[in-house]
């Protein structure tokens, strides 16, 4: 598995990462164990979790129980900031909350350190300087190695980087945002800003919740409970079906799958360090790992750009 540097940090991550959102929720402890160990065996080193995954805490708890000595073989990322209770009191990016949230995550993960601690969403109620000072203290204490953000807009990321520089604090090294052949909003402002500040991008939903796997068609609706069914209003429309069908034809002409294109295209984009994808079965990991091996030519990228142009209309 190829490794890439995450932004300007000292972390080397596998180009295909494992999203841990299914652990402790859609799959149980033993199924999680099989997925985790298979991923490590395949050379996948970036494991991306969050405190809310697995019905609030389940994903981190499962990871802590199954990693054991193999914890040292991976780059462990997790997140804070989204609600951990129904009342909405356990959330945000205040110093008080961050200090309690990180201890809870460390306990569930059964580890002494988190390689990448990410703010899961912006907190409009907390000054970014307060957040960064708290995170800086965690880095200095050795509980966190690097920090990142998720779902930040370009201006929010830039404000954070400027504040960190002005105050002499540890800065974000990565952004985790949605990015795929069908969802390309980050190209307008966030990607150029990330290049300027040398941050690494960790795209999530690279398969547009299944639309880019190649297993769906407009004539055969997905099964009940499928991710595409749950988010149909967001992804299923005439434009996306047309683009997907044209991309499938493009892949077939070149002897590749749509899944391979989805991963390889992202890895050909500037700032992308690792593509995050969740799975429920070990065999899915093999497909994801192999998907990153297609090296697209400049001509391929131009062709794909023409097909997907209707999914992205620059402002």
Q: Is the pLDDT of residue 313 over 60?
A: no
Does residue 197 have an active-site annotation? no
Q: Is the pLDDT of residue 163 over 60?
A: yes
Confidence of residue 225 (pLDDT cuts 50, 70, 90): low
The pair of structure tokens assigned to 21 is 């959102």
Higher-confidence residue: 236 or 148?
Answer: 148
Average pLDDT on 87-103 reads 97
What residues does 146 pair with on adjacent strands? Answer: 116
pLDDT number for residue 231: 58
Q: Please tell me the pTM assigned to this model.
A: 0.95
Across 162-181, b (16+ Cβ under 10 Å) vs e yields ebbeeeebbbbbbbbbbbbb
pLDDT number for residue 307: 94
Q: What are the backbone angles phi and psi of residue 80, rounded to the nearest 5°?
A: -140, 170
Average pLDDT on 159-177 reads 98
Pick the CATH number of 3-209+259-295 from 3.20.20.100, 3.20.20.140, 3.40.1160.10, 3.40.630.30: 3.20.20.100
Which tens digit of pLDDT belongs to each residue from 260-285?
A: 999 999 999 999 999 999 999 999 99
Higher-confidence residue: 217 or 28?
Answer: 28
Q: Is the pLDDT of residue 293 over 50?
A: yes
The runs of H, that is alpha helices, within 110-189 are: 128-141, 154-167
pLDDT number for residue 312: 59
Q: Is the pLDDT of residue 113 over 70?
A: yes
The residue extents of the domains of the chain are 3-209+259-295
Alpha-carbon distance 116 to 7, whole Å? 12
Confidence of residue 287 (pLDDT cuts 50, 70, 90): very high
Q: What letter does residue 157 receive in the DSSP assignment? A: H
Alpha-carbon distance 253 to 255, whole Å? 6
Query: Are the CB atoms for 250 and 277 separated by under 8 Å?
Result: no
pLDDT number for residue 315: 42
Q: Is the pLDDT of residue 314 over 50?
A: no
- Which distant-in-sequence residues (6+ apart) come within 8 Å of 59 by Cβ? 20, 21, 22, 23, 24, 25, 49, 50, 53
Which tens digit of pLDDT belongs to each residue from 231-254?
A: 567 788 889 999 999 999 999 999
CB count within 10 Å of CB 218 equals: 12
The pair of structure tokens assigned to 223 is 């099964």
pLDDT number for residue 234: 76
């Amino acid at each position: 598995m190829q490794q890439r540097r995450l932004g300007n940090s000292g972390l080397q991550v596998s180009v295909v990462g494992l999203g841990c959102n299914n652990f402790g929720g859609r799959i149980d402890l033993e199924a999680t164990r099989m997925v985790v160990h298979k991923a490590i065996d395949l050379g996948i080193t970036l494991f991306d979790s969050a405190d809310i995954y697995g019905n609030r805490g389940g994903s981190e708890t499962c990871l802590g129980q199954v990693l054991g000595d193999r914890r040292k073989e991976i780059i462990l990322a997790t997140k804070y900031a989204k609600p951990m209770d129904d009342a909405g009191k356990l959330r945000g990016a205040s110093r008080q909350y961050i200090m309690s949230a990180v201890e809870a995550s460390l306990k569930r993960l059964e580890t002494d350190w988190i390689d990448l601690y990410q703010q899961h969403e912006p907190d409009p109620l907390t000054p970014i300087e307060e957040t960064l000072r708290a995170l800086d203290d965690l880095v200095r204490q050795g509980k966190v190695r690097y920090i990142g953000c998720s779902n930040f807009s370009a201006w929010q990321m830039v404000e954070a980087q400027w504040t960190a520089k002005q105050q002499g604090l540890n800065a974000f090294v990565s952004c985790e945002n949605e990015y795929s052949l069908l969802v390309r909003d980050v190209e307008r402002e966030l990607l150029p800003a990330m290049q300027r500040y040398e941050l690494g991008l960790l795209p999530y939903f690279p398969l547009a919740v299944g639309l880019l796997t190649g297993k769906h068609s407009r004539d055969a609706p997905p099964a009940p409970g499928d991710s595409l069914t749950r988010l149909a209003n967001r992804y299923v429309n005439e434009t996306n079906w047309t683009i997907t069908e044209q991309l499938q034809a493009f892949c077939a002409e070149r002897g590749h799958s749509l899944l391979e294109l989805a991963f390889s295209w992202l890895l050909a984009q500037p700032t992308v360090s690792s593509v995050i994808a969740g799975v429920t079965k070990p065999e899915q990991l093999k497909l994801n790992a192999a998907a990153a091996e297609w090296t697209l030519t400049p001509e391929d990228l131009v062709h794909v750009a023409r097909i997907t142009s209707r999914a992205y209309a620059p402002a």
